[in-house]
Amino acid sequence: MKVLYISGMYPTPVYPQKGIFCHEQVKALKQVNVDVDVIVPITIYDKEVKQKVWDYEGVKIKYIRFFKLPGVKRYENIGKFLYFSLILSGINFKKYDVIHADAPLPAGDAALRLSKKYQIPFIVHGHGLDVFFDVSYKNAPNCQKIIECCMKVYEGADAIVGVSQKVINCIQERMDIQKKSYVVFNGVDVNKFYPTDKITKEKYILAVGNLISIKGHDDTINAFAKLVNSGVTNIRLKIAGRGPLELELKRLTVELGISKYVDFLGYVPYEKIAELMRNAFLFCLPSWYEALGCVYLEAMACGIPTIGCYDNGIDEIITDGVNGFLVHGKHYCEIYNKLLMIEHNIYSEVSKNARKTVEKQYTWLDSARKLYDIYQDVVRNC
């Protein structure tokens, strides 16, 4: 089975943690004997990527530049522009059995055009809840055209994969995709993320995620402040990630009088994240707009109690009080009630169940095997 994997969410030499979940997926596909070539589209004005090819952890990545004006202007045409760049790249597309596109634009639209030209089946893989881009571009004058372009991609796809049922539901609400939709959860490398005895003397709660609104870091900080003010002062809060809300979140810790208990770690390499998780006492990310979130699975694999949100992809995996904890988005008092339990010994069984849950069906190999079955189905039915 030979697959062309097109993804704009993929590591670069400058930012190797970008889209690391896609890279882990590709590595797992190779382990189940899928021959994968990776194409990463980058805009003509992108200054981050200097090279055309990068061999990273046994995966050969080819960066293809395509035309796109800054901002949202003509965004509905970027798939067409990427298609032209791919045609001119000299790639022999006829050697592929399947094209795997991450997201409908630009990869999905380009894959649709390649599929028609070379008669190759393609799948679209949805990693986010904004499946029609009408949240990201709701104020753009061409938003409706962007939506229509996404719909054409879904209509033309041989299979549509979502990282959670929530993703599939977001598409199904507008168009019928039941006969060709699949849920393939992301996974975790259980050999990299695993439980261990705490080697640090410092007791801390960990949050990992970009410093943006949807991640709910402000709710975590408010809940943590309430915990500290209740008398629990033998624990810290560590937040790993960078983003536009960094100064605002730091100011919040000062206003709440807890800045001396909170560490903003900024960008943290992937390997260091695993170490931070292994030594944390609890993971908290009350993200209220999340298709799934690999960090939850990674925390669970490390056997630490994990807090996520209801009505997001992770609630398809976490059962509250059994293998993790769930709260409603934007309700920091609910988070506080979960944090209160850190002073009691009720986390032990939850931690064990979290690890068992991941080991049973949420490794990257589990994910890769399901994708392989989908590839076979679309080739067989082509």
CATH number of this structure's domain 204-361, picked from the four choices 1.20.1530.20, 3.40.50.2000, 1.20.1250.20, 3.30.930.10: 3.40.50.2000
For residues 334 and 232, give the distance between their C-alpha atoms in angstroms, rounded to a whole number.
17
pLDDT for residue 75: 79
What are the backbone angles phi and psi of residue 182, rounded to the nearest 5°?
A: -140, 145
**Is 204-361 in the same CATH topology as 2-187+364-381?**
yes
The pLDDT score that the predictor gives to residue 201 is 66
pLDDT at 343 over 70: no
> What is the per-residue pLDDT for 348?
83
Over residues 176-189, the mean pLDDT reads 97
Phi-psi region of 209 (alpha: psi -120 to 50; beta: other; left: phi over 0): left
The average pLDDT across 164-189 equals 97
Of 274, 270, 281, 273, the closest CA to residue 235 belongs to 281
Q: State residue 139's pLDDT score.
A: 87
Q: Using the predicted structure, report yes or no on whether residue 350 has a pLDDT greater than 80.
A: yes
Per-residue pLDDT tens over the stretch 108-163: 999 999 999 999 999 999 999 999 999 998 888 899 999 999 999 999 999 999 99
CA 211 to chain centre: 15
* Least-confidence region, from 148-157, 188-197, 344-353: 344-353
Specify whether the CB–CB gap between 323 and 301 falls below 8 A: no
Judge whether residue 107 has pLDDT over 70: yes
Structural domain boundaries of the chain? 2-187+364-381, 204-361
CB 156 within 8 A of CB 109: no
pLDDT of 245 above 90: yes
3-state secondary structure the chain: CEEEEECCCCCCCCCCCCCHHHHHHHHHHHHCCCEEEEEEEEECCCCCCCCCEEEECCEEEEEEEECCCCCCCCHHHHHHHHHHHHHHCCCCHHHCCEEEEECHHHHHHHHHHHHHHHCCCEEEEECCCCCCCCCCCCCCCCHHHHHHHHHHHHHHCCEEEECCHHHHHHHHCCCCCHHHEEECCCCECCCCCCCCCCCCCCCEEEEECCCCHHHCHHHHHHHHHHHHHCCCCCCEEEEEECCCCHHHHHHHHHHCCCHHHEEEEECCCHHHHHHHHHHCCEEECCCCCCCCCHHHHHHHHCCCCEEEECCCHHHHCCCECCCEEEECCCCHHHHHHHHHHHHCCCHHHHHHHHHHHHHHHCEHHHHHHHHHHHHHHHHHHC
In terms of Cα–Cα distance, which of 305, 263, 325, 300 is closest to 188?
A: 300
Tens-place pLDDT, residues 116-129: 999 999 999 999 99
- Fold classification of 2-187+364-381 is Rossmann fold (3.40.50)
The tokens describing 171, both together, are: 């598409």
